Amino acid sequence: MSRVAAIDCGTNSIRLLIAEVTVHEDGTRELRDLHREMRIVRLGQGVDATGRLSEEALDRTRRALHDYDERIREESVERIRMVATSATRDAANREDFFGMVRETLGVDAEIITGEEEARLSFVGAVGDLDPADGPFLVADVGGGSTELVLGHWDGKEAEILGSHSADIGCVRLTERCLHTDPATADEVKSAGELTREILDEAFAAVDVSTARRWVGVAGTVTTLSAIAHGLSEYDPAAIHLSRVSRAGVDETARELLAMDHDRRAALGPMHPGRVDVIGGGALVVSVLAAELAERAGITDITVSEHDILDGIALSIG
């Protein structure tokens, strides 16, 4: 048994998992959570337009990492791995980010390959599912990108059949198309067309026709599930492995896009940092739902609270 810390730094949020990893005799690995935490830092705010990470975004991320470092020390963690994705890949001043992480956390952040990101996300997402329900399609709707990963899971190892990272996510879509609060009908139409166009490239790269179960991960999807199920507050236990029908996805997306900022902020499960971008994220999920119904006959989404963060922790346990 080992104690590890996994950090996932995305375009919109930065998350920490401290866990104990137990390796069993049959080769399976088991995570026992000690602490999970998420901060909205909007690291990728404006990157799509400027090509650079802003000083304000770097400072927000620095403060979050400082707090994470204190908790990691309190928990006597043996190994740390931090993975950074979409926003830092594209930024001209990404070395400022790396230096800040090294100074604050004492380890280097990794910008992993798309293949490694796909594998880690897949393993984290499907670990609690029955392997017989596969092949699984895991969709990670993030701030700057959406990852699709198709594969098998036998309870120990993952066989990845295909993966693709599409340059569309809740922050990127909101900044490009959804400028009014609430969004206008023309803005929503334009955003939907752009999302379908970009996701077409993903479906050309990943043949989803063989998928039998769609698993959605990350904050956009979990928040959408909480709202669709009428939760009064965010409850990870109730959200994990919940299912939302295609009709439920579409209805929730329409409702969120029709709300103004104050109405979205008043929703019990809504994290304050997601208020401005949840409509765009829900629209991406809605387009995914329509495409998977047509291409694979899948009629609902299984929502997992476990994702790349769990895969990172298992990789160093």
Q: pLDDT-derived band of residue 27, with 50, 70 and 90 as boundaries?
A: low
Q: What is the separation, in whole angstroms, between the first and last Cα of the chain?
A: 8
> Do you find a cis peptide bond into 269, omega within 30 degrees of 0?
no
DSSP state letter for 107: S
- Residue found under tokens 């609902």: 300
pLDDT at 80 over 90: yes
Mean predicted confidence (pLDDT) in 237-248: 96
In the chain, the amino acid numbered 94 is R
- Distance between CA atoms of 113 and 9, rounded to whole angstroms? 14
Decide which of 12 and 59 is more confident: 59
Average pLDDT for residues 198-217, to the nearest whole number?
96
Tens digits of residue pLDDT in 139-173: 999 888 899 999 999 878 899 999 998 989 998 99
Mean pLDDT of the chain: 93
190-205 average pLDDT score: 96
Given a contact cutoff of 8 angstroms between Cβ atoms, the answer to whether 119 and 96 are in contact is no
- Mean pLDDT score, 80-84: 95
Tokens of 268: 């019990």
Judge contact between 239 and 225, C-beta under 8 A.
yes
Q: How many residues does the chain have?
A: 317
How does residue 292 score in pLDDT terms, banded at 50, 70 and 90? very high
Cα 100-7-235 angle, rounded to 5 deg? 130
Q: Which of 44-53, 207-216, 279-288 has the lowest mean pLDDT?
A: 44-53
What residue ranges do the domains of the chain occupy?
A: 2-111, 128-303
pLDDT tens-digit map of 252-278:
999 999 999 999 999 999 999 899 999
The identity of residue 261, as a single letter, is H
Single out the residue of 156, 157, 123, 159 nearest to residue 26, CA to CA. Answer: 156
Q: Phi then psi for 91, rounded to 5 degrees?
A: -80, 135
Q: Is the pLDDT of residue 294 over 90?
A: yes
- Reduced to 3 states, what is the DSSP secondary structure of residue 298? coil
- Tell me the CATH class for 2-111: alpha beta
The CA distance from 32 to 54, in Å, is: 36
Same CATH fold assignment for domains 2-111 and 128-303: yes
Side by side, the strands of the sheet bearing 242-245 are 158-166, 146-153, 136-141, 213-217, 300-303, 242-245
Amino acid at the residue 101: V
Q: How far is CA 273 from the centre of its chain?
A: 14
**Residue 9 pLDDT class (50, 70, 90 cuts):** very high
3-state helix, strand, coil in the chain (%, to 5): 50, 25, 30
Secondary element (H or E) of residue 13: strand 13-23
What does the pLDDT look like over 33-53, one tens digit per residue? 999 999 989 898 888 789 999
DSSP assignment of 181-227: SSPPHHHHHHHHHHHHHHHHHHHHHS-GGG--EEEEESHHHHHHHHH
- Please check the confidence at residue 86 and state whether its pLDDT lies above 90: no
Q: What CATH architecture is 128-303?
A: 2-Layer Sandwich (3.30)
